Amino acid sequence: MNDRQLLDRVSRVRAFNRLYTGVIGVLDEGLVGTEHSLSEARVLYELEQQGVTEVAELRRRLDLDAGYASRLLGRLESRGLLVRERSETDARRQLIRLTEAGREAQHSLEQRTIEQIGKLLGRFTDEDQQRLLRSMRVITELVGDRPRDATVVLRPPRPGDFGWVVARHGALYAQEYGWDATFEALTARIVADYVENHVPAKEAAWIAEVGGERAGCVFCVRGSDEHTAKLRLLLVEPGARGQGLGKRLVAECVAFAKAQGYTAMELWTNDVLTAARRIYAGAGFQVVGREPHHSFGADLVGETWRLEWGTTGPSRRTPGSGGARSSGPAGSTSRTTP
């Protein structure tokens, strides 16, 4: 990124900040039509959630300066909304809790906030509300703490998912490996072939969702013979990596193949996809062929990996025996992490 690009991006972030602070400006002084400031409302909310807590812990949670926190708590205490007292077990610890009046004030603030945000959301259609919430989640994950306990769901593809698979493969591989548009074109052909010639008894695809957002995918399709399945188009979004999602997708794909009567599974990948290769090795796949090639604007080494759990079907090839590609370049996988 050059200096001009940096300045442009800084300008766009600042423009967003001005817009955002304008939208929530009403939540600052005189929060939602009350006498409470935003900082006071945050204290009341935190104490309502935590019950009795230490002043030091409250400061840490809200990132408050010691002097400012003391003045803030003093104002709320003078209004009868909270009380501060020394711990019975350690006089050095100062505890704080809401009074009944403080709880009533917090409940009133909560209701007013719900009404105001509901009014804001009411300006948008349901689709635009979902877009807004998704965008907020992205910003939160990038600049804040990334949630690691979000619900993970593996589900069949729905309308719009196949286009997403193609788009994300094209974008991520260009970003992470510099591959050109021919890889996206290949992904589109693989997806189109799956949709047009899908055999439900022998093929399946899964979309992984984390916290309700699409985060990955994998396909199980018919292989080179009736006994062999093929794993294709494994992908995990960068923000969802490190949670075992790739491993789970591969396991689901293998379990489906076993249940449908296949006795082996193959995939084709490239040696630069080190994280994906670790997943395949962990699932029991072994490299049975390697072949240098030039594809997607890069010099690569393709690899065929195979997993067998039955005796029927073609014999295993040995590494270096050739035949690494059974259906053209990059027929199988995308980068993922455990």
Residues 88, 219 share a domain: no
pLDDT digits (tens, 9 = 90+) for 26-53: 444 445 556 777 778 888 888 888 777 7
Question: Are 301 and 178 part of one and the same domain?
Answer: yes
pLDDT digits (tens, 9 = 90+) for 98-143: 899 988 988 888 888 788 788 888 888 988 888 888 888 778 777 7
Q: Do 178 and 287 lie in a common domain?
A: yes
In the chain the first and final C-alpha atoms are separated, in Å, by: 29
With respect to residue 37, please indicate whether it lies within any of the assigned structural domains.
yes
Domain total of the chain = 2
Does some domain include residue 185? yes
The answer to whether residues 239 and 104 belong to one domain is no
98 shares its domain with 190: no
Same domain (yes/no): 168, 288 = yes
Look at residue 290 in the predicted model and tell me its pLDDT: 96
* Residue 213 forms part of a structural domain: yes
Q: Which residues pair with 316 in a beta bridge?
A: none
Higher pLDDT, 269 or 329: 269
| For residues 282-311, average pLDDT | 94
Residue 281 is part of a domain; what is its CATH number?
3.40.630.30
Give domain status of residue 103, yes or no.
yes
What is the helix (H) or strand (E) element at residue 267, kind and residue range? strand 264-270
pTM for the predicted model, two decimal places: 0.59
Neighbours of 162 (CB within 10 A): 18
276 has pLDDT over 70: yes
The answer to whether residue 212 sits within a structural domain is yes
Could you tell me if 177 and 101 lie in one domain? Answer: no
Residue 336 falls inside a structural domain: no
Partnered with residue 306 across adjacent β-strands are 266, 286
Look up the domain containing 68 and give its range: 3-123
**Same domain as 81, residue 166:** no
Please state, in angstroms and as integers, the Cα–Cα distance from residue 222 to each residue in 77, 183, 187, 204, 257, following that order: 70, 21, 16, 10, 9
